Structure 1
Amino acid sequence: MCDTQRSGAVATNASSGSGGQPAGGSSTLPRRQLGRYLRDWRTQAGLTIAEAAKLMEWGASTLQRLEKGQADRIRTIDIHELCRIYGIPDALAEGLTGLAQQAAVKSWWHAYGDLIPENFDIYVGLEASAHRLRSYQSELVLGLLQTADYARALNQLGFPEDSVDELDRRVALRMQRQALITRRHSPAEIDVVLHESVLHRVVGDAKVMAAQLRHLADSSTRSNVTLRVLPFAAGVPLGVSTGPFTVLEFGTGSTGQPVEPPVVYAEGFTGDLYLERRVDVRRYDRAHECLQRHALDIQSSRHLLRQVAKEYVA
């Protein structure tokens, strides 16, 4: 068992420093995500910060702080007006308004449908900005490494009432996300530990699984992709089940300091958990390091993937 300093619950909605106040300021994930969306849509609208700020009758620094997630006070009426100026669709505007209403906390439980619509995907925007992702997957293949057929099979189960066009759209969006690791310029680094059970849990059919495992093996030959399989024989290295998780890092600025603090993402059935406190991130860092040590090495993992792929089509 590896020492991950387990000490009760991982986090609460306001888990932080003394007095329940967030440690290290109030620049937290919901506000950064709001700022990221607003910046992208302002750019798409062809407006500079100065031009957009003038339309809001603000100083440029006010809008700049909002886009950086550093605004001390956010009014929903202002977010509505920015959405109108930028031409943001109503469904997305509703999600941005929900983000604006989130409390300034360092650990955030995003309950689906609570202020923010269930179909508003917080994680995708976060993932797109990441420079490095370290992940442990115990049930399914990481989205960034899924084939289209594997993703389609999952979405057919998860959204049985979707039309063919809606299903195609979901799969296309999943495939577009993978540009993060396949693009030529500065692709993100990913380091994945995949439990062996994922190799044997059939999604779709044998043909889909064989293609998916071959894709994993091929992807692991990329210089920015590290993939290890945690075998059944490794037991429970942590002595406790963490569930799937991903630690996202966003690179460093000119001073060598992180552009944004790292975030732990843990997907749930009724909501997602986002952790920013250093103590929480470090615990997950140690957990990932422990799982790596007990996993097969890279070559052995690739060999096992290809071997199991052959068994599916034998």
Structure 2
Amino acid sequence: MQDTGSTLPRRQLGRYLMDWRTRAGLSQPQAAQLLGIGSTSLYRLEHGQNGKVNLGHVEAACELYGVPEHLVAAYVGLARQTSEKSWWHEFGDLIPENFDVYMGMEAAAQTFTSYHPDLVPGILQTADYTRVLVREALPDEAPAEHERRVQMRQYRQMIVTRKRRPVEVNVVLHESVLRRTIGDGKITGVQLKRLADMSTRPNVTLRVLPNEAGVPGGHSVGQFTILDFGANRVGGLVEPPVVYVPGIVGGMYFEKPKDVHRYHQAYKAFQDRALDAVDSRGLLRQVAKEFLQ
């Protein structure tokens, strides 16, 4: 049964702790015994079902599992987050800027539904496309750090291409994404060709919203992603769907049903005005050729 008291920061914390326990080769009862807490308490911690997270338990678990120090700080920050159903993750005070909360959610999702008016989504980017964006965003970082970020984003794409239960991807791209040069013509053309190729996969649906479609729904809407986590064996939600809206200093997360519904409505409005999958693929290949000439 879904725990209605669970919140996104708690669920993310639990997901990370469970992952590190597994890496340490410990079963839940073994870890609970070593931590000196009940197995039920550890279960609730790992599933984000605590009314209030015990920081001592989090720190002790991190020590037991050998979690690196910089991640311990991030996990403690998650434990201290508000219990509100809408959550603003601002970098700096509680969670380090180099810790990507969203990436953990994306990896656990079964369905990725997204609208992009400016850029290709990260899970579909080529390495060169990502490299240009990273260098633009972080000009003061060392080249080695740029490359680490590029490789991390490439690694994330395994959720789309893996053989066992790949994530279902539904993306609407505004036509302006296709026309915007990122880096140079070759980088952009190769990226568009990659999108066309990826759209042939059975788990990927990619549609282009043409310029002449106007403003579906009548509202100016920026980039957003809806993550769904599927159902359990009895038909209940594994966890509530989440809407992620990125920002330059952090990200906004919504999980109230009415908020998620509004974003689903916005996505449907874009989808209804978009080209179908075949025409979208054709346009991607056409514009790719123009860039690569």
Specify the TM-score bucket, using the shorter chain as the normaliser.
over 0.9
Aligned equivalent of 2:24: 45
Instruction: Supply the distance in 2 between the matched residues of 1:25 and 1:65 (Cα, whole angstroms).
Output: 13
Aligned equivalent of 1:165: 144
Instruction: Supply the distance in 2 between the matched residues of 1:208 and 1:277 (Cα, whole angstroms).
Output: 39
Note the residue ranges of structure 2 that are not aligned, 5 or more in a row: none
Please, which of 269, 276, 284 is the counterpart of residue 263 of structure 2? 284
1:175 paired to 2:175:
no
The amino acid of 2:257's aligned partner reads R
The amino acid of 1:211's aligned partner reads V
Instruction: Supply the distance in 1 between the matched residues of 2:93 and 2:11 (Cα, whole angstroms).
Output: 19
Instruction: Supply the distance in 2 between the matched residues of 1:179 and 1:170 (Cα, whole angstroms).
Output: 15
Shift of 1:188: 0.6
- Per the alignment, in what secondary structure is the counterpart of residue 102 of structure 1? coil
User: How is 1:1-314 mapped onto 2 (pairs within 5 angstroms)?
Assistant: 25-314=4-293
Aligned equivalent of 1:7: none
Shift of 1:201: 1.4
Instruction: Supply the distance in 1 between the matched residues of 2:31 and 2:192 (Cα, whole angstroms).
Output: 48
Shift of 1:271: 1.5
Shift of 1:78: 2.1
The amino acid of 1:230's aligned partner reads L
The amino acid of 2:82's aligned partner reads A
Instruction: Supply the distance in 2 between the matched residues of 1:180 and 1:247 (Cα, whole angstroms).
Output: 15
The amino acid of 2:11's aligned partner reads R
1:55-101 C-alpha deviation (Å, 9 max, x unpaired): 22111000000000001221222211111111101111100000000
Shift of 1:277: 0.5
Q: Which has the higher helix share?
A: 2
Aligned equivalent of 1:20: none
TM-score, scaled relative to structure 2: 0.97
Instruction: Supply the distance in 2 between the matched residues of 1:257 and 1:310 (Cα, whole angstroms).
Output: 46
- Per the alignment, in what secondary structure is the counterpart of residue 186 of structure 1? coil
- Per the alignment, in what secondary structure is the counterpart of residue 217 of structure 2? coil
- Per the alignment, in what secondary structure is the counterpart of residue 306 of structure 1? helix
Instruction: Supply the distance in 2 between the matched residues of 1:167 and 1:269 (Cα, whole angstroms).
Output: 18
Preserved CA contact (<8 Å) 1:209 1:312:
yes
Instruction: Supply the distance in 2 between the matched residues of 1:175 and 1:216 (Cα, whole angstroms).
Output: 14
Give percent identity, aligned residues only: 53
Preserved CA contact (<8 Å) 1:28 1:104:
yes
Instruction: Supply the distance in 2 between the matched residues of 1:110 and 1:26 (Cα, whole angstroms).
Output: 19
TM-score, scaled relative to structure 1: 0.91
Instruction: Supply the distance in 1 between the matched residues of 2:109 and 2:4 (Cα, whole angstroms).
Output: 21
Preserved CA contact (<8 Å) 1:132 1:189:
yes
Shift of 1:160: 1.3
Shift of 1:162: 2.2
Shift of 1:164: 2.3
Preserved CA contact (<8 Å) 1:26 1:105:
no
Shift of 1:306: 0.7
In terms of mean alpha carbon deviation, does 304-313 or 121-130 score higher?
A: 304-313
The amino acid of 1:177's aligned partner reads R
The amino acid of 1:127's aligned partner reads E
Shift of 1:241: 1.1
